Structure 1
Amino acid sequence: MNPISPSRRRLLRGAASAIALPAAFGAGAQPVREFRIGHQKGFLSLLKGRGTLEQRLAPLGVKPTWTEFTAGPVQLEALNVGAIDFGDVGEAPPIFAQAAGAPLAYVAATVPRPKAEGVLVPKGSPIRAAADLKGRKVALNKGSNVHYFLVKLLEKHGLKYADVNVVFLPPADARAAFEKGSIDAWVIWDPFLAAAQKSLDATLLADATGVVGNRAYYFSSLSYADKNLDVLRVAIEEINKIDIWAKLNRDLLAAELAPLFGIPKPVLDLSTARAEYGTGPVTPAILAEQQQIADTFLALKLIPRRIQVRDVARSPWAAA
């Protein structure tokens, strides 16, 4: 994570305070406890729309406020300047944040979702297997979950990271480059993965099955987690209820997510059908997976120092 300029720091704080927080529920009531949620388009958006979290937290004197961000790393920047208390992110961004000294705490993790990320090549490409990527131009979003996936996929097929020409591009730019034929392969996650398969007839060279887990994480700050584990426990329980519903209602889930992402429902049908659902505690085994990612990034000189992931894990269930 790069140093945050004073102007960006003010912007992040302003974004998170855009929704006014009432001082109390009513005359004589105790002040409302803060719970400032940062979120990307996705399951937290569904939770916001349902209003069930507000109902569960009201007896605790907590009223959530919500701020939408474009990506996980931006949420972590907001956390770093004290603008939010909770958010969702993929595997890689919190490693960069911890290495940069951000006060994040892992508080929950999803089940593995290996089919939700993959390597795409154009239809008719001579690249038929991962080993054929040697010497090719491969685009990905730097420091993202797919960055680690590519490293491990190459290793599995006898290649080194240096054997491919990696081009760092955000999803929109990578798709444009893919369409123009200026890259040979694109490593990307759903729903962008499904969209390219459906609209560009792209070929899925490999997904992450048998390579990496591809989990998502829910995070807080160390200071907030140490004082509000009861709030975090309720939030994660409500998130998991959305997961349970999604697993049993994939068609309805796709219909609800399509307008949220601005993507046609058939694309969401593909991505939701292959997704896995479930959110729970960050276990020692999960932390070991995350530590392996951190050690890999250190070896590639993508982070400046070794970190211990377990040092920033907190269990909301410890307050149960």
Structure 2
Amino acid sequence: MKRIANRTTKSATTRNRAVGRRAAGLLTALLLVAAASGCGNDSSAASGHGNKVTFGYIADYSGSAALAVAQKQGLWKKAGLKPELKVFTNGPLQVQALGSGDLDFGYLGPGALWLPASGRAPIVSVNMLGLADRVIARPGSGITKPADLKGKKVAVAEGTSGDMILDLALRNAGLKPTDVKKVAMDASTVVTAFSSGQVDAAATWYPLIDTIKKKVPGLREISGTQDYYPGLTFPNVFVAQPRLASGNPALVRKVTGVLKQADDWIAGHPAQSESVAAGFLGLPAAQLKGSTDHVKILSSAELTKLSRNGTVDGWFDQLSDLFVQMKKLPKPEKAKDYYLGDLYASAGKADHR
């Protein structure tokens, strides 16, 4: 989901000073917390489990492509890391695992970004910008536009990007969440419920919609992320255990360096990356063909530039405002408090020793 925020233009001098202050402040904070961690009992956060890294992902293209490429290209080995990759059905479950220490890193879609904003998992890297989310309606339901959702039964996986796109569609139509019969369920169950006619509509994403289309070929797409871009931008991201970045910033830079190299390979080989992700997930290559049509892939150089000039912060700040409207957050939170943009910019080949 992608909406590039219009930021107030600053002079180069002011911007450079601000970036310098932010970098210095982050480094100081990391050093202080690292020192404290060395004296405390949270050994897993401070050590990062040596060269072993547990990493969560979701079994679709955007949720797995970077990890698939890192594995295929031997990037983990080059970095001296041994990953243990664990599949999850959604982002909120990964944040729970990060909080309990069962994961070191994880992947979140844009609908779960209220969790980093609430302080539960710092963002270490933007992965891709998503365009995959849709509100879809069954043929014969009488739903041809968002306003028609009033009084209808809508399936959605709460806390996900599907939840977000539904909220946006309702707001644009002048409706409240209470104007529809919202049925909360797991993302995979949304597919079953919509396909079997248990609900009138659903808020979900590709490639799940491709699966639904095979069963319900006449479905309508009545709203999608592309309707809001570039006014809003919807990044999917990689996050870390709450204390890992402060307890072991070198490890986080090393892992982030792997992700940056993987993203650069994907940016240069988008179609091939679909096949690599399919192989990683054990799926026929045809099943993920065209997945890159639903994302915007940015190189690490582009993301570094956008992180330094405040654009990425703007994406997250706008979404934070949206999450307040959705009652996911009590108040807006600033990206500078949970997006480790300076750490992202510093991660690179120097960390792969």
Aligned match of 1:6: none
Task: Name the residue aligned to 2:105.
Answer: 86
Report the counterpart of residue 191 of structure 1 in structure 2: 207
User: Does the C-alpha gap of structure 1 residues 118 and 267 become closer, same or farther in structure 2, counting only changes over 3 Å?
Assistant: farther
**Residues 53-202 of structure 1: matches in 2 within 5 Å?**
53-58=75-80, 63-70=81-88, 71-96=90-115, 98-99=117-118, 101-102=119-120, 104-114=121-131, 116-201=132-217, 202=219
Which secondary structure state, in structure 2, belongs to the residue aligned with residue 142 of structure 1? coil
- 1:197–1:204: 8 Å Cα contact kept in structure 2? no
Map 1:299-310; keep pairs closer than 5 Å.
299-303=325-329, 307-310=333-336
| CA shift in 2, pair 1:297/1:54, >3 Å | closer
Pair 1:38 & 2:60 matched: no
The answer as to 2:251 corresponding to 1:225 is no
For the structure 1 residues 242 and 199, does the alpha-carbon distance in structure 2 shift closer, same or farther, using more than 3 Å as the test?
farther
The answer for the alignment partner of 2:13 in structure 1 is none
Runs of 4+ in 1 over 6 A off after TM superposition: none
| CA drift at 1:305 | 5.9
Paired with 2:286 and 2:73, the residues of 1 have a C-alpha distance of: 27
Q: What is the aligned-residue RMSD (CA, Å)? A: 2.9
Contact map agreement 1:127 1:133 (CA 8 A) in 2? yes
Q: CA deviation digits over 1:126-175, x for unaligned, max 9? A: 21112211221111110111212221222223333332222111122212
Identity among equivalent pairs (%):
21
Q: State the alpha-carbon separation in 2 of the partners of residues 273 and 292 from structure 1.
A: 24
Q: 1:57 to 1:260 in 2, by over 3 A?
A: closer
- TM-score of the superposed pair, with normalisation by structure 1: 0.76
Structure 1 residues 260 and 205: alpha-carbon distance in aligned structure 2, compared to 1, 3 A threshold:
farther
> 1:178, 1:65 → 2: CA distance?
36
Q: Aligned partners of 1:54 and 1:96: how far apart in 2?
A: 27
Letter in 1 for 2:239: F
Aligned to 1:292: 318
- Separation in structure 2 between the aligned mates of residue 168 and residue 68 of structure 1, nearest angstrom: 24
Cα separation, partners in 2 of 1:257 and 1:56, compared to 1, 3 Å: closer
Find the residue that maps to 2:296 and give its secondary structure. coil
Q: Please name the residue that 1:240 is paired with.
A: 263
Tell me, in whole angstroms, the C-alpha distance in 1 between the residues paired with 2:134 and 2:115.
22
Task: Check if 1:313 corresponds to 2:330.
Answer: no
What's the offset of the Cα at 1:265?
Answer: 4.7
Q: Structure 1 255/47 Cα, relative in aligned 2: closer, same or farther at 3 Å?
A: closer
Q: Residue 188 of structure 1: CA displacement?
A: 0.6
- Label 1:307 to 1:97 Cα distance change in 2 as closer, same or farther (>3 A): same
Q: Secondary structure at the match of 1:143?
A: coil
Q: How many residues align?
A: 282
* Structure 2 residue aligned with 1:52: 74
Q: Which has the higher relative contact order, 1 or 2, with Cα contacts under 8 A spaced 6 or more apart?
A: 2
Alpha-carbon distance change, 261 to 37 in structure 1, aligned in 2, over 3 angstroms? closer
Contact persistence 2:70–2:258 (CA under 8 A): no
Cα 1:214/1:196, change in 2 over 3 Å = farther
Tell which deviates more after alignment, 69-78 or 258-267: 258-267
1:169–1:43 Cα change, 3 Å: same
Give 3-state SS (helix, strand or coil) of 1:68's partner: strand
Q: Call closer, same or farther: CA 1:67–1:50 in 2, change over 3 Å.
A: same
The one-letter amino acid paired with 1:208 is T
The answer as to whether partners of 1:92 and 1:145 remain within 8 angstroms in 2 is: yes
CA gap of 1:275–1:112, structure 2 versus 1, over 3 A, is: closer
Q: Secondary structure at the match of 1:138?
A: strand
SS of 2:125's partner is strand
Structure 1 spans left out of the alignment, 5+ residues? 1-16, 24-31
Using the TM superposition, give the Cα deviation of residue 319 of structure 1 relative to its aligned residue in structure 2, in angstroms.
5.6
* CA displacement at 1:50 relative to structure 2: 1.0
